[in-house]
A and B are shown apart, each in its own frame.
Chain A
Amino acid sequence: MAVRPAGDFKITYPQDMALLDTAFNRWGFLLLVGALVLAPAWLGNYIFLLTTIGVFAIGATGLALLTGFTGQISLGHAAFMAIGAYASALLTGGWGLPFLLSLPLAGIIAFLFGAAVALPSLRIKGLYLAIATLAFQFLTEYTIIHAAGQGLGAISVRAPRIGPWVMRSEVQFYYVLLAVWLASGIFAANLVRSRIGLALMAVRDRDYAAQVMGINLLYYKALAFGLSAFYAGIAGSLWAHYNRVITIEHFTLVTSIDYVAMIVMGGLTSVWGPHLGAAFVTALSQGLRIIAPLVITVLPAFAKIATPLREIVFGSILIALLIWEPGGLATLLRKLKRYVDLWPFSY
């Protein structure tokens, strides 16, 4: 009888450094991608949920690179999303550029703004940096409202067009989004495990030691801000072309804080965190939107809390996670998998 060794044996360094290092993970990922590809067939009209999750997962991935991996707090993430959205709207509308060009350009423009915002981060840290990014958030909102002229910076956006093909249906848009989502997620995961990721994490964990190891703090902080803004810009561009009409209401401080909630709930230092967080926050918001009116009809006494229900539930979940599982959903999932692996033994 042939005996197969139990366990997972890595023989080469590439195997040891692979993103999906076990058969379980590889098949699981393949299943997940398969499910996402086939999702429109099942979800029908609810495909907008997945589209929303995808857009915000891309944006949250950017914030995770900045806050989770580089340790720089930002309360202005939605501002970079706005920059990407308005840049893409103007590039496709005014200049008539194709969507496939305006998408990366929106990211690059946001990147430049992000790198510029990073300049003070060499001097200010922690809460002070949060306030500085908050200022950038308000500055961007103000500028867009006043530059656009009409109420709340409303602007209509062209339907995305790839070559002669104009995307009119939600499903078509979803597949374009899915491709960008996958690519950006894999790009971020690769960044994190390579030289750049090591440098960013070194800046996060001990900046003066990083300096002694030859890591230029200003360069890597600017890079982190730039990359995070790039992701936000891409997300903004996609969001603009998906909604077809954008106003500054899409990109306010509330969105910035939602982003922070997503990466904290999802897991700050995990490449899966932002995706889980975006899915969780989006699904929860939509779910509560359905539940809130029910609360009012069934329990009229609680009508007062039905309106801010979302804030109450979000706050409670956030506090609960911070107390019991600071690693967020990503860590929770890993623990669950471990539990199932070992069941029925405890170790």
Chain B
Amino acid sequence: MVKEALGVARIYTCNSLMEPILRGEDLHLSFHGIHAIQGVDVDVAPDEIFGIIGPNGAGKTSVLNCINGFYHPQRGRIIFEGQDISRMPPHTRAHLGIARTFQNIALYPGMTVLDNIMTGRVIRMRSGVLACGVYRGPAEREQVRHRRIVEEIIDFLEIEFARDHRVADLAYGIQKKVELGRALAMDPKLLILDEPMAGMSMDEKADMARYVLELKEVRRLPMILIEHDMGVVMDLCDRIMVMDYGRKIAEGSPAEVQRNPDVIRAYIGEAVPV
């Protein structure tokens, strides 16, 4: 309630007034001489949806992998909530509150939807091996408490019907929803969405956009979004960074980015005088 009340008074467009929740400074990443990222700076404000776009192979996913810890950039550092996380392994960053989804769905195929989302709660549960093995008492109470939260997420994503289905048996669009649910179950402070709408139908895209906006407005959850559907990106994002060949070529509001000649050149190519 307090958070929502504060949100009303917040100045939405002026990001510079607020300390960024995530800051990447001068990131460099190369694999055996291939420069995936060359000197990229990112700032994500705690109240915004930050879009990253660019042609295939521009280094968008590499930036995400640096943020959540799969890759460690050779140069530069990453600061999350004022703390340098550049050297931390992925699971530690998850504990700090960075959650993500994957471009190619990375659910646990052998488990049910319920269990998949429940694994997001594992880091918020405390029961040890002995308590879990005995189960009666503390472990069971904890399990029930977290089950309630998971059920709320299932409600939010409208996938009640699939609760007890194995994920491998579900349609692609529903799997995408489950993956979002699993990330949400971690109570993240920053949510990274890597192409959440790729391969979806118009209806499913509209649903997903609705969830993203609701998460922003109700939960005040900052997000980093990679997406190829320009309509979606321009409508959802507060600020957009455009990448090409591992470099940042533009950054700004959707309107600014769309007018930027470098961006037009990267996407469409140059007008050749005939």
Q: Which residues of A contact B (CB under 8 A)?
A: 13-14, 17, 187-188, 190-191, 193-199, 201-202, 204-206, 208-217, 223, 227, 269
Contact = CB atoms under 8 A, between A and B. Distances in A.
Contacts, number: 111
Given A17-B143, A195-B127, A211 B132 contact: no
Contacts of A190: 132-135, 139
B132 A191 contact: yes
Contact of A211 (B90, B111, B182): B90
A187 B89 CA distance: 32
A205 B109 contact: yes
Interface string B85-96: 000011100110
Contact of B115 (A196, A198, A216): A198
B196 interface: no
A267 to B, nearest CB: 13
Secondary structure class of chain B's binding surface, majority of residues? helix
Nearest to A202: B119
B186 interface: yes
Contact of A214 (B111, B132, B139, B186): B186
B91 A217 contact: yes
Contacts of B123: 213-215
- Range, interface on chain B: 35 or more
B139 A194 contact: yes
B256 interface: no
Nearest to B164: A16
A151 B150 CA distance: 59
Given A213-B119, A213-B186, 14 more contacts: A13-B144, A17-B144, A190-B135, A194-B139, A195-B127, A196-B132, A201-B119, A202-B108, A208-B70, A212-B100, A213-B91, A214-B95, A217-B91, A223-B129
Contact of B129 (A193, A204, A209, A227): A227
Interface in B170-194: 182, 186
Contacts of A191: 129, 132-133
B99 to A, nearest CB: 7
B102 interface: yes
Nearest to A183: B133
Contacts of B121: 195
B118 interface: yes
A57 to B, nearest CB: 17
Contacts of B147: 13, 17
Contacts of B134: 187, 190
Contacts of A217: 91
Interface in B106-136: 106-111, 115, 118-123, 125, 127, 129, 132-135
Contacts of A209: 102, 106-108
A211 B99 CA distance: 11
B119 A198 contact: yes
Contacts of A211: 89-91, 94
Given A17-B143, A190-B133, A195-B139, A213 B109 contact: no
Contacts of A187: 133-134
A126 B228 CA distance: 36
Residue among A13, A194, A197, A204 with max Cβ neighbours from chain B (10 Å): A194
Given A202-B119, A212-B68, A215-B122, A195 B108 contact: no
Given A187-B133, A214-B94, A206 B106 contact: yes
Contacts of B142: 195
B152 interface: no
A14 B108 contact: no
B3 interface: no
B148 interface: yes
Contact of B120 (A188, A205, A213): A213
B164 to A, nearest CB: 10
B140 interface: yes
A14 B70 CA distance: 37
Contact of B182 (A193, A201, A213, A216): A213
Contacts of B107: 205-206, 209
B115 A212 contact: no
A315 to B, nearest CB: 27
B148 to A, nearest CB: 7
B131 to A, nearest CB: 8
A194 B135 contact: yes
A216 B122 CA distance: 11
A205 B125 CA distance: 20
A215 B108 contact: no
Nearest to A12: B144
26 contacts: A13-B148, A14-B140, A17-B140, A187-B133, A190-B135, A190-B139, A191-B129, A194-B127, A194-B135, A195-B122, A195-B127, A197-B132, A198-B115, A201-B110, A201-B119, A202-B108, A205-B107, A206-B108, A211-B94, A212-B90, A212-B99, A213-B91, A213-B122, A214-B95, A214-B123, A215-B119
